[in-house]
Amino acid sequence: MNEPQHIRTTELDSRADDPPRADLLESIIDRIPVGLTVQDEAGRVILVNRAAAAGPAATTTHVMGPSVSDGSHPAQSQQPHPAALFAATAASGVVDHDGRAFLTSRQRVNAFDRTLIVTSSVDVTECRLAAGEPPREAHVDELTGLANGVVLKERVEEAIVRGGDRFALAFFDLDNFKHINDYYSHPVGDALLVNVARRISGRIATSDLLARISGDEFVLLIDPVDSDDQLRAMIGSISDALRQPFHIEAFEVFTSASIGVSVYPDHGRSYELLRRNADSAMSRARSTSKGGTAFFDGAMGRAVTPAWSSSNDCGSPFAIASSVVRSSPRLTFAPRRLSGWRRSFAGATIAARSMPLESSWGWRSSSD
Q: Parse the chain into domains and list their residue ranges.
A: 20-139, 149-296, 303-365
Beta strand 257-264 pairing with 293-295: parallel
pLDDT of residue 18: 62
Q: What is the mean pLDDT of the chain?
A: 74
Query: Residues 319-351: pLDDT tens digits?
Result: 444 434 433 444 333 444 444 444 444 444 444
Tell me the three state secondary structure of residue 217. strand
Same fold, 20-139 and 149-296: no
Q: pTM value?
A: 0.53
Lowest-pLDDT choice from 91-100, 222-231, 269-278, 323-332:
323-332
- Say whether pLDDT at 277 is over 60: yes
Is residue 6 exposed (0-12), middle (13-18) or buried (19+ Cβ within 10 Å)? Answer: exposed
pLDDT of residue 353: 39
Give dist(CA 335, CA 79) in Å, integer: 44
pLDDT of residue 244: 96
Is residue 75 exposed (0-12), middle (13-18) or buried (19+ Cβ within 10 Å)? Answer: middle
CB atoms within 10 A of CB 295: 23
Q: Residue 1, CB half-sphere, CA atoms under 13 Å: how many? A: 2
Give dist(CA 211, CA 197) in Å, integer: 9
pLDDT: which is higher, 126 or 58: 126
- Say whether pLDDT at 177 is over 70: yes
Lowest-pLDDT choice from 111-115, 144-148, 353-357:
353-357
Give dist(CA 218, CA 190) in Å, integer: 14
Mean pLDDT on 7-25: 62
Report the CATH number of the 149-296 domain.
3.30.70.270
Tell me the three state secondary structure of residue 258. strand
- Superfamily per CATH, domain 20-139: PAS domain (3.30.450.20)
